[in-house]
C-alpha cells in the first residue's frame, strides 16, 4: 500500500475537502479532529507503538521545518494493570519529524540511556550525552561525531548550546548531592532536601571546537534550569533552584566577563517567580510570577537592555505549568494545570492561547485536556510558522506529540 503524506502547511485546506470529525479530545482519537469544546483542529504528529515526547518548553527542537523529539520503547510495569511507557528506558532515541510531510526518521541508535534536549539550528545537529560522553548527530546525514568526554574529576551533564554553536553548558553537582538524589528519587522528597543541603554546584562551558572545559561559576545555591540566549552567544541564564518562595530565582551570567545579574527580586512574602525562558529575539526574559503564591497570577518579562519589568495578569483557571512566547512576543501560550497544581484551579486543564490586552492576558482555549494526566507536563511550543501550538499529551492512554491549529476551524 502506498502511503501519501499530507503537507503540514496544507492541513487547513484539507478540512474543506474532507470534513473533520468533531470530537471530545480523549482516547482512541483519529489522526486529526476538531475539539468539540474549542473548535480548533488537532493533529497527532507521531504515530507508532512507542512513547513519543516533544522537548521541555524552553528547549527549542526546530531546525527549519524539522522537529527533533524523543521516542522510547514501551515497557511492562508489573505493578500496573496495563502497559506503561517509561521515558527512562534504555531504548530512548532521538527522532526527526518533518512538519511538512509528518514523516519521521530515527537519528540515534544508542544501546545505553541518553540525556539531552539540545538542538543547534546553526550546526544542523542534535546533541546528546551517554554516560560521560557527549555526541552530536547531523540531522541531514545522520552522521554521529564525538564532541567531548568529561574527565574523571569532573563528571557533569550538558543542558544547552549557545546561539553560534560554539559552546555547550551545564552544571556539575557534587557526589554528596547525587547520593541525596539516589536516596530520595521523588521530587516531593528531594526538593527541600537538596535546597537545604547547600552543596556546591559549578556552571561550566565546553568549547565544541577546542574541547576546552571552562568552569565559570561555583555557588552553594542549587544552580539549575540552565539556558543560553537564542541570540547572544555569551549570555547564559540559570536559576537558584528550591522552594520558589525562598529564593530569588532568575539570574544571568556573561560567560566571558563572568558578570552575574539578578533578573527579578521578590518584593513580598510568599512571592514566587520561575519557569523562566528567554524570548526568541534574546531581548526579554519571561517567567511565571505569583504575588503572592497561589493568589494573583502573572506572566512577567524583564527587558535585558533596560531592566524594565512588565507583567500581564491571568485568571486562576488560566495559570499554566509552563508558558511560551511567539517569535515576535505578541502572542503567548500555556499548557494549563490540574486542580492539584499550585493554582488549585477548578477548570484549568486546557491548552491556552494568550494575547496581551493592556496589563492583562486575553485567553482562548485551544484543547480540552481533561483526559490528560498532568504528571506528564504538556510543554507547549509555537511551530516554526507560528500557526500551530505543539505539545505532548497522554489523553489517548500513551504519550504522543500533537499540534493544535491557532486559527479556529
Task: Tell me the pLDDT tens digit for each residue of 245-254.
Answer: 999 999 999 9
Tell me the β-bridge partners of 218.
202
- Here the CATH number for the domain that contains residue 20 is 2.130.10.10
Of the two residues 7 and 356, the one the predictor is more confident about is 356
**What are 349-395's pLDDT values in tens digits?**
999 999 999 999 999 999 999 999 999 999 999 999 999 999 999 99
- Does any domain span residue 183? yes
In the predicted structure, residue 159 carries a pLDDT above the cut 90:
yes
Cα dist from 213 to 123, 131, 253, whole Å: 20, 17, 17
- Does any domain span residue 1? no
Q: Cα-Cα-Cα-Cα dihedral of 116, 51, 74, 48, to 10°?
A: -130
Provide the number of structural domains found in the chain.
Answer: 1
> What is the extent of the structural domain holding 349?
8-405
In the predicted structure, residue 7 carries a pLDDT above the cut 70:
no
Evaluate whether 159 touches 226 at the Cβ level (below 8 Å): yes
- Does any domain span residue 325? yes
In the predicted structure, residue 401 carries a pLDDT above the cut 70:
yes
Task: Over range 70-93, report the average pLDDT.
Answer: 62
Beta strands in 208-321 (DSSP E): 213-219, 222-228, 235-241, 250-254, 260-262, 272-278, 284-290, 297-303, 309-314
- What is the model's pLDDT at position 83? 40
Q: Tell me the pLDDT band of 34, cut-offs 50, 70 and 90.
A: very high
Q: Tell me the pLDDT band of 17, cut-offs 50, 70 and 90.
A: very low
Least Cα distance to 227 among 277, 269, 295, 183 occurs for: 277
- Does any domain span residue 384? yes
**What are 309-360's pLDDT values in tens digits?**
999 999 999 999 999 999 999 999 999 999 999 999 999 999 999 999 999 9
- Does any domain span residue 3? no
Of the two residues 227 and 87, the one the predictor is more confident about is 227
Amino acid at each position: 500500500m502506498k502511503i501519501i503524506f499530507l503537507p503540514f502547511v496544507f492541513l487547513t485546506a484539507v478540512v474543506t475537502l474532507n470534513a473533520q470529525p468533531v470530537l471530545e479530545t480523549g482516547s482512541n482519537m483519529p489522526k486529526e479532529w476538531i475539539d468539540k469544546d474549542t473548535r480548533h483542529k488537532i493533529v497527532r504528529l507521531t504515530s507508532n507503538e512507542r512513547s513519543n515526547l516533544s522537548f521541555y518548553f524552553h528547549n527549542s527542537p526546530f531546525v527549519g521545518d524539522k522537529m527533533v523529539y524523543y521516542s522510547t520503547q514501551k515497557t511492562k510495569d508489573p505493578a500496573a494493570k496495563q502497559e506503561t511507557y517509561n521515558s527512562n528506558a534504555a531504548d530512548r532515541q532521538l527522532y526527526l519529524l518533518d512538519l511538512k510531510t509528518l514523516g519521521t526518521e530515527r537519528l540515534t541508535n544508542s544501546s545505553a540511556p541518553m540525556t539531552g534536549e539540545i538542538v543547534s539550528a546553526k550546526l544542523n545537529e542534535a546533541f546528546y550525552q551517554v554516560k560521560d560522553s557527549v555526541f552530536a548527530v547531523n540531522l541531514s546525514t545522520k552522521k554521529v561525531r564525538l564532541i567531548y568526554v568529561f574527565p574523571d574529576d569532573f563528571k557533569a551533564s550538558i543542558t544547552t548550546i549557545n546561539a553560534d554553536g560554539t559552546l555547550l553548558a551545564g552544571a556539575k553537582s557534587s557526589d554528596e548531592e547525587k547520593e541525596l538524589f539516589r536516596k530520595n528519587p521523588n521530587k516531593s522528597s528531594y526538593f527541600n532536601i537538596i535546597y537545604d543541603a547547600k552543596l556546591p554546584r559549578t556552571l561550566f562551558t565546553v568549547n565544541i571546537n577546542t574541547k576546552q572545559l571552562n568552569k565559570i561559576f561555583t555557588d552553594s545555591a542549587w544552580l539549575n534550569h540552565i539556558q543560553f540566549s537564542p541570540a547572544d552567544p555569551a549570555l547564559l541564564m540559570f536559576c537558584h533552584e528550591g522552594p520558589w518562595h525562598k529564593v530569588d530565582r532568575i539570574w544571568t551570567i556573561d560567560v566571558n566577563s563572568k558578570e552575574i545579574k539578578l533578573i527579578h527580586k521578590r518584593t513580598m512574602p510568599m512571592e514566587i517567580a520561575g519557569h523562566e525562558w528567554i524570548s526568541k529575539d534574546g531581548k526579554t526574559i519571561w517567567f511565571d510570577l505569583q504575588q503572592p503564591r497561589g493568589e494573583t497570577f502573572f506572566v512577567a518579562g524583564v527587558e535585558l537592555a533596560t531592566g524594565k519589568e512588565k507583567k500581564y495578569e491571568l485568571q486562576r483557571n488560566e495559570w499554566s505549568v509552563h508558558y511560551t512566547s511567539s517569535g515576535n512576543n505578541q502572542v503567548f501560550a500555556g499548557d494549563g494545570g490540574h486542580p492539584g497544581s499550585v493554582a488549585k484551579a477548578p477548570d484549568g486543564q486546557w491548552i491556552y492561547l494568550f494575547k496581551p490586552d493592556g496589563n492583562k492576558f486575553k485567553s482562548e482555549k485551544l484543547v480540552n485536556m481533561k483526559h490528560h494526566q498532568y504528571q506528564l507536563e504538556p510543554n507547549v511550543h509555537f511551530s516554526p510558522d507560528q500557526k500551530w501550538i505543539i505539545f505532548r499529551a497522554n489523553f489517548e492512554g500513551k504519550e504522543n506529540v500533537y499540534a493544535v491549529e491557532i486559527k479556529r476551524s
